[in-house]
Each structure stands twice: as C-alpha cells, then as structure tokens.
Structure 1
Amino acid sequence: MRADARKNYNHLLAVARDVVTEHGVNASMRDIARRADVGLATLLRHFPTREALFEALLRTNLEALTQRAGEIETSNSPDEALVSWFREVVSFVQSYSGVVSLMASAHEDPDSALYATCVAVHSAGARLLLRAQTEGTARADMNGDDLFAMISAVGWLVGQPSFAPRTDHLFNIIASAIWISDQGEKSCT
C-alpha cells in the first residue's frame, strides 16, 4: 500500500474507532465517512462492508488477546492464567457496544471476515481452560465453547447500563463457575 493510501486507511480506522466507541457496532458508515472528511465511496473502497471495517478494527485487539494467552500460558499458574485472560477478553468486549454479538456469530461462520481471529481467540481460551483442567483446578465438564459463551454472557451483561456498576461482582460470579467447587470465588479476584 502506498504511503498516502496507508495514511488514509489509518485515519479512517481511527475515526471509525471513535465513532464505534460512541455508538457501538450499529454506528453509521455515513457518519464515519462524514467525520473522516471523506465521501462514503472512499470509505467503502477501503472497507467494502461493515464486517470488513469491524474485522480491521478488531483484528489487532483479537490478535493481541491470542498472543497474550500464549504469553501467560507458560508464565502463570493454570488457574491464574485462565482468569487473567478471561478478564482481559471481557474488558475488550466491553470496549465496543455490540461486539459480543459480532464475535459470537463470527466464530461459527467461516465466511465471516472476523472468523479467523475469533476462532484464534476461542482456541487460545480453550488451551488455557484445558491446562487448568489438567491441573485439576477447572471443571472437567466445560470446553472452549462453554468458555466462549461465558465470555459472551459477561460481556453482554456488563454492557447493559443497569449492570455496569456491578461489573466486578458479575464477573466473579460467572467466572467462579469455571472452578472446581473448592476453588470458588477466591480464584477469580
């Protein structure tokens, strides 16, 4: 990509990030183009679909979460690694209203622009869960799909204004369902 095209691309992403942070995943493509001082055709040339725009916006964060799982997998105890990563993913899904729905549907749709990065995050979580299960601290009747569903549930809950003040409490309640009964909430804090 030429330097000027890269600059325009980065500018569009920065503006889109701001608009999506304000308005969530239903942010208007026209509003993004208007705020970026470009025509809608210019925005669509870089991001031909809404999903392509979200893939570009989310890719960096999702890749970082996948990389982070690999880093803490070997440097932390299995239960600490899992709960730390779980908390980081929940924090990320809170960053954009509606991103949980996008991720939940994308990880099941191979045609989605978000599919590969969502599958990578899902696999990273499943590895951390398996490691905690092997250690004997996480429930054996869970799998990566269950963990991804729990992330989605917490992300959705804390994205609701009436539940936002209870974010930590709700996180601890839901995350405590991962642990074998004698682990309880103490592993989630």
Structure 2
Amino acid sequence: MPDRQRADARRNYARILAVAEDEVAAHGAGASLEQIARTAGVGSATVRRHFPTRRALLEAVSRERIEALCVRADDLTGNGDSRNALLEWLSDLVAYCVSARGLAAALAYEGAAPDSVHENTCSAKMEQAGEPLLRRAVRDGTVTPDVTVADLITLIVGIVLATEHHPNPAAAADRLFQLSVAGLSPQS
C-alpha cells in the first residue's frame, strides 16, 4: 500500500486486510470477497481497488507468515546438518501452511509464465529464503542437485491442499511430508 494514499484509503486498506485475515482463516483461499467487503463496510470495488486479484489479497494476508518463514530459513542456514536444516525449514513451512488457511494457495503457482508481470511474490520470497539451505544440502551431497526450492514448495502446496479437509490436517500433512522425504523404500 503506497504511503501517498489518503488517510481514508489507508484506513480502508487496514480494515479490509483485518477482515480478510479472519475470513481466510475461517474459509481458506475461497473466502468470499463480497463478504469481506460487507464486513469491512466498503464496496466490492474498494476491495478490488486495493486487491485487484484474489492472489494479491492472499499474499497480503500471508505477508507476516511469509516473513517469519524467511527469517526461520535464515536462522537455519549454516546450522548443523544441512539436510536436517532444510527439512526442518520445510517442515515448518508445512505446519505454517496447515495452520494458516490460504497460505498454500498463496504459494501455488497456477501456471503463471516465468516472465509474467503477475509474479507470485510469496513463492519468490520463499524460493529466495530457501535457496541457501538447499544449496548447502546439495553441496554436502545430502540432496540431489536437480531439486529446486520451487519443486519443494510445489510438493508442500500439494500435500497441504490434499489434506486440507482431513479430520486432522496437520497430522495428515506431516505424515505425507515425512513419506515424501523418506520415500517408499524400507530404511536399511
């Protein structure tokens, strides 16, 4: 939100964002934009002026969580075993996505072209944050070199979205994440 906005526009933005956070927490990424507008006491055009796309709204709602995950990645970079550091961060990402309905949808790519002006800033920030963890694990030979942070985010988004309506989404998502890390082969 630009600082040059009028005071009433800044208040509307803050009110819409607060309502959107509650709505997304209750209803996930499919939260009704019209309901958000009604609850915030503004018109739907005002919501769309501040958040021209659903993705823009989800990214704004998820901003603090994304920042916390970026800080967490930075904290883990250089600490202990490189594979464990990467897996710990990815596990945190799974837990955040499960607890913060809408975050997985904010991270989803939805087929945007790489040169699109509608870059997924949440995913871009997460890729940038996770890259040092992944590079270190690849350098140490604990992760195959063809894996990308984008691959890992896509895997997590899929797991979280697949378990969203499970009776215990956190346990189901964690189990599938651990299965994807361990693979199908029995451990020797």
Q: Normalised by the size of structure 1, how large is the TM-score?
A: 0.76
> Aligned residues, how many?
180
> Is 2:90 the partner of 1:94?
no
Q: CA deviation at 1:22?
A: 1.2
The answer on 1:130 being equivalent to 2:140 is: no
Distance, in Å, in 1 between the alignment partners of 2:56 and 2:145 is 37
Tell me which of 172, 178, 181 is aligned to 1:172: 178
**Mapping for residues 41-120 of structure 1, pairs under 5 Å:** 41-97=45-101, 99-105=103-109, 108-109=112-113, 110-111=115-116, 113=118, 115-120=120-125
CA offsets, 1:131-164, max 9 Å, x none?
1122232234533343223222322233231562
* Residues 128, 15 of structure 1: alpha-carbon distance in 2 compared, 3 angstrom cutoff: same
Q: Which runs of 5+ in 2 are unaligned?
A: none
**CA-to-aligned-CA distance 1:30-62 (integer Å, 9 cap, x gap):** 100111122223323322332322222223322
Give the secondary-structure state (helix, strand or coil) at the position aligned to 1:94. Answer: helix
Distance of 1:96 and 1:64 partners within structure 2? 13
RMSD over aligned CA atoms reads: 2.9
CA distance in 2 between partners of 1:91 and 1:112 (Å): 30
Match of 1:26 among 22, 26, 30: 30
Q: Distance in 2 between matches of 1:52 and 1:72?
A: 29
4+ residue runs of structure 1 moved beyond 6 angstroms?
Answer: none
Identity %: 36
